[in-house]
Amino acid sequence: MEQDHRAASLQYWEETHRTQGYARDRIRVDDWLDRFADVIGQTDKPVLDLGCGGGNDTLYLIEKGKPVIACDQSETAIANIQKNFPEVRETHCFNMLDPFPFADGSFEVVIADLCLHYFLEKETMQILREIQRILLPGGHLIFRVNSVNDIHHGAGKGTEVEHHVYETDAGTLKRFFDEADIRRIFSEFQIEYVHEEIMTRYQFEKRLFRGCVRKAEDHG
Ligand SMILES: C[S@@+](CC[C@H](N)C(=O)[O-])C[C@H]1O[C@@H](n2cnc3c(N)ncnc32)[C@H](O)[C@@H]1O
């Protein structure tokens, strides 16, 4: 991400989290993680919620009794998490384009819900390498990303700066994936599940891919 995309993204999300700073009782949970209950249920380590935003998935995990580490680039999002979820003892404010502040092999489960579709392909792959690094062998990354079949894809949504990546009027980037993109970009992982579907958590239906990928076991 060139510096201006990065700065525009931070400004956009700070503003969004400032104006939508929900109280806990207004935060909506959807059941997309239920499919991966076995994966989430098996780990004794904290689950990492990347790009946690308002904390929809943080709340889901808390309700399942899981310790969560919540992260976002937005200080406002992190402050909201700390206010709404005193159970969350560890939060980190960092940009995923920078090295992640975790040691190698720290996690068995990383969740990245609607936060991996803001980058050029080489940036996305750099972020995925960091996720690989902080996962233990056999660990899982569970994610959702925009689909090319989403209503916001294409016409009228800014300039296409790279295949399936658009620059918006706000100066931010927005990527849309098809299944081939996912299989290519996540190819360093074992792809266990990828499925296109409609999410109804927002006011309008959103078409996206839900995925679960696994870091290879270490046989060395
Ligand atoms: C659409 S929200 C998703 C929030 C939450 N995961 C959910 O599904 O409700 C995207 C979040 O990703 C965060 N984000 C976007 N780019 C980021 C980056 N480069 N580094 C860290 N967080 C980022 C934003 O600040 C925002 O909170």
> Which pTM was predicted?
0.96
User: 């310790």: which residue's tokens?
Assistant: 67
- Write the Ramachandran bin of 106: left for phi over 0, alpha for psi from -120 to 50, otherwise beta: alpha
pLDDT digits (tens, 9 = 90+) for 96-114: 999 999 999 999 999 999 9
Helix crossing, 3-19 with 75-84: angle to 10°?
30
DSSP class of 214: E
Average pLDDT over residues 208-215: 98
**Burial class of residue 50 (count of CB atoms within 10 Å of its CB; 0-12, 13-18, 19+):** buried
Dihedral, CA of residue 186, residue 188, residue 190 and residue 196, to nearest 10: 10
Please check whether residue 69 lies inside any domain of the structure.
yes
Q: Report the alpha-carbon distance of residue 206 to residue 188 in Å, rounded.
A: 27
Q: Is 53 in the pocket of ligand 1 (CB under 6 A)?
A: yes
Q: Report the alpha-carbon distance of residue 30 to residue 159 in Å, rounded.
A: 32
The atom number, within ligand 1, closest to the CA of 13 reads 25
CA–centroid distance, residue 52 to ligand 1 (Å): 6
CATH number at residue 11: 3.40.50.150
Distance from the first to the final alpha carbon of the chain: 35
Q: Is 124 in the pocket of ligand 1 (CB under 6 A)?
A: no
pLDDT digits (tens, 9 = 90+) for 112-132: 999 999 999 999 999 999 999
- Domain span at residue 173? 3-214
Residue with the nearest Cα to atom 11 of ligand 1? 51
Domain count, the chain: 1
Q: Which of 72, 110, 174 to mutate for ligand 1's pocket (most ligand atoms within 8 Å of CB)? A: 72
Please check whether residue 220 lies inside any domain of the structure.
no
The atom number, within ligand 1, closest to the CA of 112 reads 6
Amino acid 201: pLDDT? 77
Residues composing the chain:
220
